[in-house]
Amino acid sequence: DTGVSQNPRHKITKRGQNVTFRCDPISEHNRLYWYRQTLGQGPEFLTYFQNEAQLEKSRLLSDRFSAERPKGSFSTLEIQRTEQGDSAMYLCASSLARGTGVEQYFGPGTRLTVT
Amino acid sequence: GNSVTQMEGPVTLSEEAFLTINCTYTATGYPSLFWYVQYPGEGLQLLLKATKADDKGSNKGFEATYRKETTSFHLEKGSVQVSDSAVYFCALSSSGGAQKLVFGQGTRLTINP
């Protein structure tokens, strides 16, 4: 068990550019979540996959955001035409669907700075 | 919708002091409750959880009891250490569907030797 990994760890981009983040979950986990955390706040849910199917998206996820999880393994989160308000820590978590109260395992996050 | 309210920080204590961080929630149905911790430079990790009313979660000397009547899940530790310095997040997840986590805003705890 190597844990959840995320790449890159840091990304600085200019406003208007596109960025893509990658998340590699724990290998046997079928659920994958993306959250966004701004300074001084708790993480906020963005979207959720069960295997390769994207089953829920938050209203925080505007049309500029898209996420994929091909083949139910790693996931990517793309932000098009970045804005300064997109600056945040983007967190990925994974879990194994098994009843209620299941622990989500978090990656270290990707910190995005939009200049 | 579901929400979590945490005691505002930062909280600063001396080593061996008693710790309480308050957490209350609003939710429909029967959520599961969690405390996650984020140590400096590290990712979020689960500290403890409780999945039904009156359950007590415990780990590393920390405890929290799921109180449905007061919709609370307060975190306590009898004697804190410098190594407990971190940001603590209370969270809930619904019993069905995505079971996404809804977090409080976090409480930064600093323990002085």
What confidence category does residue B109 fall into, taking pLDDT thresholds of 50, 70 and 90?
very high
Which whole number is the average pLDDT over A17-46?
95
- A88, pLDDT greater than 90: yes
**Average confidence (pLDDT) over B42-69:** 96
Mean pLDDT of the B73-77 span: 98
Is 90 exceeded by the pLDDT of residue A49? yes
pLDDT at A94: 96
Average pLDDT over residues B61-76: 97
In Å, how far is B98's CA from the nearest CA of chain A?
A: 7
Residues of chain A with pLDDT > 90: what percent? 84
In this prediction, residue B67 carries a pLDDT of 97
**Most confident listed range (A10-14, A71-75, B93-97, B98-102):** A10-14
- The whole-number pLDDT of residue A21 equals 98
Position B18 pLDDT exceeds 80: yes
Q: Strands A65-68, A75-79: parallel, antiparallel or unpaired by DSSP?
A: antiparallel
What is the identity of the amino acid at B68? K
State how far the Cα of B44 lies from the Cα of B56, in Å rounded to an integer. 21
The rounded distance, in Å, linking the Cα atoms of B57 and B51 is 9
Coil/strand/helix, residue A84:
helix
Q: What is the pLDDT of residue A1?
A: 55
Residue B87 has pLDDT above 90, yes or no: yes
CA–CA min distance B34, chain A (Å)? 8
Convert chain B into a string of H (helix), E (strand) and C (coil).
CCEEEECCCCEEEECCCCEEECEEEECCCCCEEEEEEECCCCCCEEEEEECCCCCEEEECCEEEECECCCCECCEEECCCCHHHCEEEEEEEECCCCCCCEEECCCEEEEEEC
Note whether A43 contacts B105, CB cutoff 8 Å.
no
Chain B CB contacts of A103 below 8 Å: 34, 46, 49
The predicted model gives B107-112 an average pLDDT of: 97
Which residues 53-82 of A have a C-beta within 8 angstroms of B?
A: 55-56
A72-99 average pLDDT score: 94
Dihedral sign computed on CA atoms, order B61, A100, B103, A53 = positive
